[in-house]
Structure 1
Amino acid sequence: MIVPAEVVEYDPRWPLWFEEIRARLTPYLGDLPHQVEHVGSTAVPGLAAKPIIDVDVVVPTAELVTLAVKRLVAAGYHHEGDQGIPGREAFALPSDPDHYHHLYVVVEGNKPHRNHVVLRDHLRTNAADRERYAVRKRELAHLLTTDRPAYVDGKSALVEELIATAGGSQPVGGPRRTES
């Protein structure tokens, strides 16, 4: 399957594609405590994006990551390690994917999971930032066919700003209360 190399307008089929991917994963994850979350730009209605579905398999503890990895490998995915992002295990697609997607295993509330969810939820509710992000992606889209790392780098400062604005330094669910 060819990696999509364009930024397109939001497609209402993307949530349906996510559900198909989740359905394919479910038998392999079975009784493993987990959630499968649609993250990334395709999870934000109205946001222009590369037609790549980002999927987080979220486990409650770090001890379950190894088991999740083994089960996803059994499903035909190829484990690629953390790709330089501690706390996020990445996978290459199986030989017969239904839809192009990125798959990750994360621990609930860890930094990669938190950032995925916080950014997604912020962009779902903030039209101005959603448009700023879409504009930036369109400006950089020409790099997708020649220099994908430059595309990612070109978005990174804005992504970091949006995560910070949305409270990305907080655990999922908001700040934790402490007793005084």
Structure 2
Amino acid sequence: MVSPKEIMEHYVIDPQDSYFVNGVPPVENVVVVAYDPLWPEIYSTLASKIKSKLGSHLLKIDHVGSTAVPGLAAKPVIDIDLTVADAADEKTYVLALEGLGYRLIVREPRFHGHRLFHYDNPRVNLHVFTRDTPETARHLLFRDWLRQSKKDCQLYADVKLDAIKGCSLDIQQYHENKSKVVHEIYHKIFKGLGYI
């Protein structure tokens, strides 16, 4: 079980570390678009195929990120969190996911075993984590908060549209530009839960 203390500790990536499987990050256009009501249906189709392929190796799968929040402007990329017993045990899931067309992009063993896969059409970021990680708990808390808080949902939409300016090919800068507001929203969530 994940403790509130663990959930509140944000992981900081060491810029000296390179976790990209091919040594360099993939280049892609970064855009923010209006909410597409088809996103949940797309997720459902993808999740069904993943469940079928991984079977008992899959412990949990969730639609996270902005495409999981009705009405929220987002990058047109479906974010999926996939939980396995041990993300370091790649033989239990990598070949199966590759068989579905996913490509392993990132290995971050210190970040709860995190592996990132890309799928191109539709664009998907598939995050694989070891069970009982605070990161997946955080993702669900953020998603669910934005689903019920119209004010923060609009705040987040506004900051994303502003953050994208000048970052069309720099996803890291885009994330950095919106990080202050993301942390402010997390602070409200943790306060609302009585964690702080």
TM-score (norm: length of structure 1): 0.78
In structure 2, what residue type is equivalent to 1:42?
T
Change (3 A) 1:6 1:162: same
Q: How many positions carry a matched residue from both structures?
A: 166
Indicate if the aligned counterparts of 1:38 and 1:54 stay in contact, CA closer than 8 A: yes
Deviation at 1:65, TM superposition (A): 5.1
Query: Aligned partners of 1:46, 1:101: CA distance in 2, in Å?
Result: 19
Deviation at 1:115, TM superposition (A): 1.6
Q: Deviations over 1:36-80 (max 9, x none)?
A: 210000000111111111011123x33785323343234332223
The equivalent residue for 2:135 is 112
Q: Give the alignment partner of residue 68 of structure 1, picking from 93, 98, 104.
A: 93
Indicate if the aligned counterparts of 1:89 and 1:106 stay in contact, CA closer than 8 A: yes
Indicate if the aligned counterparts of 1:4 and 1:51 stay in contact, CA closer than 8 A: no
Query: Aligned partners of 2:131, 2:177: CA distance in 1, in Å?
Result: 28
The equivalent residue for 1:103 is 126
In structure 2, what residue type is equivalent to 1:107?
T
Query: Aligned partners of 1:81, 1:126: CA distance in 2, in Å?
Result: 32
Query: Aligned partners of 1:29, 1:64: CA distance in 2, in Å?
Result: 16
Counterparts of 1:51-66 in structure 2, within 5 Å, are 51-59=76-84, 61-62=85-86, 66=90
Query: Aligned partners of 1:164, 1:12: CA distance in 2, in Å?
Result: 29
Gaps in structure 2 of 5+ consecutive residues: 1-26
The reply on whether 1:165 has 2:191 as its aligned counterpart is no
The equivalent residue for 2:105 is 80
What RMSD over aligned residues (CA atoms) do the two structures have, in Å?
2.7
Indicate if the aligned counterparts of 1:36 and 1:56 stay in contact, CA closer than 8 A: yes
Indicate if the aligned counterparts of 1:7 and 1:51 stay in contact, CA closer than 8 A: yes
Indicate if the aligned counterparts of 2:58 and 2:82 stay in contact, CA closer than 8 A: no
Gaps in structure 1 of 5+ consecutive residues: 176-180
Indicate if the aligned counterparts of 2:30 and 2:167 stay in contact, CA closer than 8 A: yes
TM-score (norm: length of structure 2): 0.73
In structure 2, what residue type is equivalent to 1:149?
Q
Query: Aligned partners of 1:104, 1:133: CA distance in 2, in Å?
Result: 22
Identical amino acids, percent of aligned pairs: 30
Indicate if the aligned counterparts of 2:82 and 2:128 stay in contact, CA closer than 8 A: yes
Deviation at 1:154, TM superposition (A): 0.6
Query: Aligned partners of 2:164, 2:109: CA distance in 1, in Å?
Result: 23
Q: Give the alignment partner of residue 92 of structure 1, picking from 118, 130, 149.
A: 118
Query: Aligned partners of 1:46, 1:158: CA distance in 2, in Å?
Result: 19
The DSSP-based 3-state class of the residue aligned with 1:81 is strand
